[in-house]
Amino acid sequence: MSALTASSLFTSSALRESKTTTTSSTSNKNKNKKNSSSFVVCRSQKQQQQKTSASSEKSISLLAPSSSKNECIQQIAAKSKAPPPPAATGPTPTQIAAGVFAAAAIGVTARKAMKKKAKKIVIAGAPASGKGTQCELIVKKFGITHISAGDLLRAAVAQGTDDGLKAKEFMDRGDLVPDEVVVNMVKSRLNEPDCAGGWLLDGYPRSASQAEALSSYGIEPDLFLLLDVPDEELLERVVGRRLDPVTGQIYHLKFFPPPDETVAKRLTQRSDDTEEKAQNRLKVHHANVNAVLSKYKNIMKTIDGNRQKTTVFKEIEGLIKSM
């Protein structure tokens, strides 16, 4: 073999070795790079698993700190498979019936309260028309408070108060007592606690000015009863009236005599029950009654008072019950 040939072979061999070395080096680099990438992926996956495991352990510890991991995992799985809560439903028939009965009970209570509304009544009539007798029957039947303007005045006269002394001068003449003397007494009496359940005002108001005075204080009756009796009958009733000073009972020498001689001996006649004064009082009554009735015409009922007291009361009772 010549020197040129040997040199060429050496050069070719050296080139192959160099290429092989280069290829091997490149392969090793690629292999190292792949191994490095695989390591990074593996490391990332491992970290993610650790985070997931830590999160699961934390959830397990929060849900059931006293249980084992397996038990908690079973609990979590059971909760995830739990059925949804039942849908909301309407009231049952029993609940509906209970509501109906409750509403009915409330309605009954309301109607009872309305029936118990305080009855505010005025009863009017000439002297001896029977107001006192009918007032007693009304109070006994309905339990409301009877207020007599005449009794208030007579009590003031008996006590000798300033208003009583002023009133006595007019009463002795058979005249109406001035409004300023009476209205305050009546108003104060109507504001007493026993009048809260209802009242029966007897003999007041007797004039339009007195009716207006009551209205100015917010006092309005619901029913105005007028007892109508002929004047001749009224005079006979007045003149024959007698008062028992011990019991306050009023008798009549003809129509309602005292029960025995002992009571009869102590009876007295009121100073304004003489025939002369009775006639004057009738004139005053007739002069003022129309003005009062015009004020209360929408609630006024006229009663024939020239009948037996039980018959008169039966009519009055029906009117009050219908209020």
Does the bond joining 205 to the residue before it have cis omega, within 30 degrees of 0? yes
According to the model, what pLDDT value does residue 111 have?
47
Instruction: Give the whole-angstrom CA distance, residue 61 versus residue 237.
Output: 104
Could you say which of 119, 131, 168, 189 is catalytic?
A: 131
d(Cα 30, Cα 214) in Å, to the nearest integer?
118
260 and 152 in contact (C-beta within 8 Å)? no
Residue 241 among the catalytic residues: yes
SS3 at position 8 = helix
Determine the pLDDT at residue 60. Answer: 40
pLDDT at site 153? 87
Residue with tokens 């992926």: 41
Take residue 107 and report the two structure tokens written for it.
């309605």
Give 259-317 as a 3 state SS string. CCHHHHHHCECCCCCCHHHHHHHHHHHHHHHHHHHHHCCCCEEEEECCCCHHHHHHHHH
Active site annotation includes 242 = no
Structure confidence at residue 83 (pLDDT): 57
**Cα–Cα distance for residue pair 124/203, rounded to 1 Å:** 6
Quick check: 164 and 153 in contact, CB under 8 A? yes
pLDDT along the chain (323 residues), means of 10: 41 43 45 44 48 46 47 56 55 66 52 66 92 95 93 89 87 80 89 95 88 92 96 93 94 94 95 89 86 90 96 98 92
Q: 199-227 b/e with 16+ CB inside 10 Å = b?
A: bbbbbbbbbebbbebbeeeebebebbbbb
Going by C-beta distance under 8 Å and a sequence separation of 6 or more, which residues neighbour residue 117? Answer: none
Would residue 307 show up in a list of annotated catalytic residues for this protein? no
Q: Give catalytic status of residue 206 as yes or no.
A: yes
The residue annotated as part of the active site, out of 154, 166, 270, 307, is 270
- Where do runs of H (alpha helix) occur along 3-92? 3-63, 69-80
Which residue in 241, 242, 277, 295 is the catalytic one?
241
Q: What is the pLDDT of residue 26?
A: 45
Best CA proximity match to 260, nearest among 272, 270, 246: 246
Query: CA 173 from chain center: how many Å?
Result: 50
Q: In whole angstroms, what is the distance from residue 163 CA to residue 171 CA?
A: 12
For 251, the 3-state DSSP assignment is strand
Q: How many CB atoms lie within 10 A of CB 79?
A: 9
Choosing from 120, 168, 189, 206, the catalytic residue is 206
Structural domains in the chain, CATH included, are: 119-322 (3.40.50.300)
The DSSP H or E segment spanning 231 is: helix 231-239
The residue annotated as part of the active site, out of 119, 120, 242, 281, is 281
d(CA 124, CA 110) in angstroms, rounded, equals 33
How many Å apart are CA 168 and CA 154, to the nearest integer? 8
Q: Verify whether residue 154 is a known catalytic residue.
A: no
Q: What per-residue confidence (pLDDT) applies to 64?
A: 42
Residue-by-residue DSSP string for 121-171: EEEEESTTSSHHHHHHHHHHHH-PEEEEHHHHHHHHHHHT-HHHHHHHHHH
Alpha-carbon distances, residue 185 vs 131, 180, 195, 232 (angstroms): 20, 9, 14, 32
